[in-house]
Structure 1
Amino acid sequence: MKLLLIGSGGREHALAWALAKSPKLTKLYAAPGNAGIAEVAELCNLDTADHQAVIGFCREHAIDLVVVGPEAPLVAGLVDDLEAAGIKAFGPSRAAAQLEGSKAFTKGVCDEADIPTAGYGRFDTADAALAYVREKGAPIVVKADGLAAGKGVVVAMTLKDAEEAVTACFEGSFGAAGAEVVIEEFLEGEEASFFVLSDGTNALPLATAQDHKRAYDGDEGPNTGGMGAYSPAPVLTDALIAEVMRTIIEPTIATLAKRGTPFKGVLYAGLMIGTNGPKLIEYNTRFGDPECQVLMMRLKSDLLELLLASVEGRLDQTTADWRDEAALTVVMAAKGYPGSYDKGTEIRGLDTPATDDVAVFHAGTKRDGTRILANGGRVLNVTAVGTTVRQAQQRAYERIRDIDWPEGFCRTDIGWRAIARES
C-alpha cells in the first residue's frame, strides 16, 4: 500500500517509524515531515491546508490511505474532502473532530450522555466569564473553547490568575480559539491519558499513558504541549479502564453515532482519576504528542492494519498487542519554550540508529546539508523502553547525554510518579 502521512512533529515521526515496519507498506510519503521522518519516508512539498492539492497528490501518486496526524486538518475537514473524492483517510470527520475543536461541544456531549466530567460554565463575553470566576473562586480552570496548540488551558490557583486568563482569551491571546471560554471546576486527583480506536460503532482499547505538561522539574513553570510521557500509566488499573470504557468512551461513541456524525479514528481521553472515580477532562481526536511516541514503542501489532480496521469498520474483528515493558519519552525543547526561542541552532549526536528499545523522534527539526537544525519549540523526543519505568528513564537520559545541543533543555524528572510507585 502507498500511504501519505500528514504532519511534521514527533507524533508523526513515531507514526512513520511504526508504519514503516508494516509488511503491507510499499511506499510512505509525508507532508511536510521533518528531518527525522525523512529517514523512513519521502517528504513532499505539499500545502496540506489546500485540500484540493492533497487530493491531486493522492490521485497522482495512487495513494491508498491518508493518515492525518495533527488536529487542525481534522477540524478543517480534510478527511471529509478526501473521502468525498474516493480516497481512504484515517481520522474523524469535521463534525466528529469537534470533540477536540470545541470544549463547549464536548461538554454538550457529556451532558447528553451523562458522562462524568467537571462542572462548568460557557461564556462569550468577558464580563459574564469574570462574574462567574468571582462567584466560584479559585482554584478554577479557564479554557479557550477552540484549538490553541495545547496552550489554551490555565489552571488558575488564585482569583487573580483566573481573571488574567479570562482577559487574555477575550483580548485575543489565542485568536479565534478564545472567542468563547469554558470555565470548569478544579478537579483533584491524578491525570492520565487513555487511547482507543473507533470505527464509528466499535471501540478498541489501545493503551494508557501519562503526560508532563509543566515546563520544568517538579511540575513547575508554564503549561506546554508536553515535556515527556510514559506508558503504561499505573494509576489506570484494569478495573478503572473497564469503568472508563463503560462510562466515558462507549457513551461518547454511541452519542455521536446517534447524532449521525460517527467517530472514526483515535479518541484520546484526558482523564482525572480522583476519589469519585475517573472524570473526563478533555478529548483529543488524534494521537497525543508526546504520548504517541511511547505508544508506538510498545505496540507489537501492525499499526497499518489497525488504522485500516478503523477506516473499514472492522475493529470488532481486530486486537492490539502490546509489549509488557514500559516506555518513556523525554522532550528536548529550545531554551525559552513555551515562550520565545531561537530557531536554526545545530544539533549533533543524532547519528545513532534507532532500535526497538531506544529511538530519537524528531519533533521540530530540518536538515541543512549534513547538519540537523532546530526548527521549533519542542525539537526532539528521546524515547526508550525498559522492564520498569525507572529503567526506561535511565536509558532515555543516557541517550540524551550523547546529544550535543547547548541551546536545548529538558526536564530531568520525567516518570517521577510511576517511579515513586515502583520504589
Structure 2
Amino acid sequence: MKVLLVGSGGREHALAWKIRQSPLVTSLVIAPGNPGMERLGELAPVKADDAEGLAALAREIRADLVVVGPEMALAAGLADRLAAAGIPCFGPTARAAQLETSKAFAKDFLERHNIPTAGYGVYETLAEARQALDVFRPPYVIKADGLAAGKGVAISPDRPDAEAEIERMLGGRFGAAGARVVIEEFMDGEEGSLFALCDGTRAVLLGGAQDHKRAFDGDLGPNTGGMGAYSPAPVFTPELVQQADERVIQPTMAGMAAEGAPYRGVLYAGLMATADGPKVVEFNARFGDPECQVLMMRLAGDIVPHLLACARGDVSKLPPLEFRPETVICVVMAAKGYPDSPLTGSVIRGADQDFGPDVEVFHAGTARNKDGALVASGGRVLNVCARGADIAQARERAYAAISRIDWPGGFHRSDIGWRALDRDD
C-alpha cells in the first residue's frame, strides 16, 4: 500500500521510521519531511498547512492511507478534504480537532460531558481577565485559546506575573491564537500523557508517556513544546489507566460522536494524577512530540493496520498492540535561544552515525545548507532516543550518544527522566 505521511518534525520522523518497517507498505511519501527522513521515503515539497496541496498530492500518488502528524494540517481541514476524495485519513476532521485547536472549546466540551478537569473561565478582554483573577488563587494557569506550538501556557506564581502574561497573550504574542485566554485552577499532582487510537465510536488505549515541558534542568525556565520524554511512565498505574479510560477517554469518544463530530485518529489526553483521580489538563488531536518518539520505539508490532483501521472507522477486529518490555527515553537537543529566539543555521556533525541497535536519532528541525551540511532550522532540532532495561540504562545510552554529536549551537537538559529515577531510588 501507498502511504502519505504529513509533517517535518521529530514526531513525523519517528512515525516514518515505524511505518517503513511495515510489510504492508510498498511506498512512503513524506510531505514535506526533513533530511533525516530521506532514507525512509520520497520527500514532497508540500507544506503541512497546505491542506489543498496535500489533498492533491494524495490523489496524485493514489494514497491508500494518509497519516497526519502536526496539528496545523488538521486545523486546516486536511481530513475533511481527504474524506471528500474518499481517501482514508488517520487524523480527525477540523471540527473534531477543536479538542486541541481551541482550549475554550475543549473546556466547554469537558464541562458539558461531566469529564473531570480544572475549573476555568474564558476571557476576551484584558479587563475581564484581570477581574477574573479575583476568583482564582495563585499559582494562576493561563492559556492562549488557540494553537501556539506548545508554548501558549503560563503558570504564574503571583498576580502581577499573571496580569503580565494575560497582557502579553491578548496583546498579540501568539497572534490570533491569543485572541482569547483561558484561566484555570491550578491542579496539584503529577502530569502524564495517555494516548488512544480512535475510530469514531471506539477507542483502544495505546500507552502512556511523561514529558518535560520546561526548558532547563530542574523544571526551570519557560514552557516549551517538550524537552524530553520517557515511556512507560510510572505515574500511569493500572488503576489510574482504568480510571482515565472510564472517566475521560470513553466519555470523550461518546460525547464527540453525540455532537456530530466523531473522532478518528489518535487522542492525546494530558492528565493530572490528583488525589481525586485523573483530570484532563489538555487534549491534543495528534501524537505528542516528543512522546510519539518513545512510543514508536517501544512498539513491537506493525502499527500500520491500526492506523488504517482508525481511518476506516473500525478498530474492533484488531489484536492488541504489543510493546517491548524496555524503557525508552528521548532527550531533545534544541537550538540555543529556544523557545523564544532559536538560532538557526549552525552546523551539526555526527548526528547520522551508527549509535547501535538501541539508539535512534530523529531529526526535528534540520535542513541542508548550500554545501550539503546538516544545519539547525528550528527550535527543537534533534531527538536522541534510547532503549534500556530500565530508565537508568536508557538514560545512560541516550546521553552517551549525545556526547558523540558535535553541535556547539545546541543545548539539552541533563535530567530527563528524573521523576522515574526518583521512584526507583
Same structural fold, with TM-score higher than 0.5 when normalized by the shorter chain: yes
What's 1:221 paired with? 221
CA-CA distance at 1:136 after TM superposition: 2.2
Measure the CA separation in 2 of the matches of 1:415 and 1:47: 33
**Conservation of the 8 A alpha-carbon contact between 2:48 and 2:72:** no
Task: Give the TM-score taking structure 2 as reference length.
Answer: 0.97
For residues 403-418 of structure 1, the aligned pairs below 5 Å read 403-418=405-420
For residues 237-316 of structure 1, the aligned pairs below 5 Å read 237-316=237-316
SS at match of 2:367: strand
Q: Label 1:402 to 1:354 Cα distance change in 2 as closer, same or farther (>3 A).
A: closer
What's 1:385 paired with? 387
CA-CA distance at 1:356 after TM superposition: 4.9
Measure the CA separation in 2 of the matches of 1:51 and 1:361: 25
For residues 72-221 of structure 1, the aligned pairs below 5 Å read 72-221=72-221
Task: Give the TM-score taking structure 1 as reference length.
Answer: 0.98
Measure the CA separation in 1 of the matches of 2:309 and 2:135: 48
What's 1:367 paired with? 368
1:92-137, CA deviations, whole angstroms, 9 ceiling, x for partnerless residues? 0111000001111111111111111000111111101111113423
Measure the CA separation in 2 of the matches of 1:356 and 1:7: 26
**Conservation of the 8 A alpha-carbon contact between 2:52 and 2:78:** no
Measure the CA separation in 2 of the matches of 1:203 and 1:49: 27
What's 1:321 paired with? 322
Measure the CA separation in 2 of the matches of 1:55 and 1:11: 21
SS at match of 1:350: coil
SS at match of 2:172: coil
Measure the CA separation in 2 of the matches of 1:153 and 1:380: 23
Measure the CA separation in 1 of the matches of 2:207 and 2:218: 25
Q: Label 1:136 to 1:47 Cα distance change in 2 as closer, same or farther (>3 A).
A: closer
**Conservation of the 8 A alpha-carbon contact between 1:297 and 1:356:** no
**Conservation of the 8 A alpha-carbon contact between 2:362 and 2:383:** yes
**Conservation of the 8 A alpha-carbon contact between 2:256 and 2:262:** yes
Measure the CA separation in 2 of the matches of 1:5 and 1:324: 28
SS at match of 2:12: helix
Does residue 27 (structure 1) correspond to residue 27 (structure 2)? The answer is yes
CA-CA distance at 1:45 after TM superposition: 1.3
Tell me which amino acid in the other structure corresponds to 1:210.
Q
CA-CA distance at 1:409 after TM superposition: 0.5
SS at match of 1:404: coil
Give structure 1 stretches of 5+ with no counterpart.
Answer: none
CA-CA distance at 1:370 after TM superposition: 4.1
Q: Label 1:256 to 1:355 Cα distance change in 2 as closer, same or farther (>3 A).
A: farther
SS at match of 2:210: strand
Greater shift after overlay, 9-18 or 338-347? 338-347
Greater shift after overlay, 19-28 or 311-320? 311-320
SS at match of 1:272: strand
Tell me which amino acid in the other structure corresponds to 2:381.
V
CA-CA distance at 1:313 after TM superposition: 2.2
Q: Label 1:331 to 1:47 Cα distance change in 2 as closer, same or farther (>3 A).
A: closer
CA-CA distance at 1:354 after TM superposition: 6.4
CA-CA distance at 1:365 after TM superposition: 0.4
Tell me which amino acid in the other structure corresponds to 2:121.
G
Measure the CA separation in 2 of the matches of 1:355 and 1:10: 19
SS at match of 2:133: helix
**Conservation of the 8 A alpha-carbon contact between 1:134 and 1:159:** no
1:379-421, CA deviations, whole angstroms, 9 ceiling, x for partnerless residues? 0000001110111000000000100001111000000000111
Give structure 2 stretches of 5+ with no counterpart.
Answer: none
CA-CA distance at 1:300 after TM superposition: 1.1
CA-CA distance at 1:47 after TM superposition: 3.7
Tell me which amino acid in the other structure corresponds to 2:114.
D
Does residue 38 (structure 1) correspond to residue 38 (structure 2)? The answer is yes
Tell me which amino acid in the other structure corresponds to 2:165.
A
Identity of aligned residues (%): 55
Measure the CA separation in 2 of the matches of 1:271 and 1:298: 21
Give the total of aligned pairs: 423
SS at match of 2:272: strand
Greater shift after overlay, 19-28 or 34-43? 34-43
Q: Label 1:52 to 1:76 Cα distance change in 2 as closer, same or farther (>3 A).
A: closer
Measure the CA separation in 1 of the matches of 2:257 and 2:212: 33
Tell me which amino acid in the other structure corresponds to 2:55.
I
Greater shift after overlay, 315-324 or 287-296? 315-324
Tell me which amino acid in the other structure corresponds to 2:353.
T
Measure the CA separation in 2 of the matches of 1:274 and 1:135: 21
SS at match of 2:38: helix
**Conservation of the 8 A alpha-carbon contact between 2:65 and 2:87:** yes
SS at match of 2:151: coil
Measure the CA separation in 1 of the matches of 2:105 and 2:386: 37
CA-CA distance at 1:367 after TM superposition: 2.3
Greater shift after overlay, 4-13 or 43-52? 43-52
Cα RMSD (Å): 1.2
**Conservation of the 8 A alpha-carbon contact between 1:199 and 1:314:** yes
Measure the CA separation in 2 of the matches of 1:387 and 1:132: 49
What's 1:346 paired with? 347
SS at match of 2:261: coil
CA-CA distance at 1:355 after TM superposition: 5.5
Measure the CA separation in 2 of the matches of 1:51 and 1:132: 38
CA-CA distance at 1:54 after TM superposition: 2.0
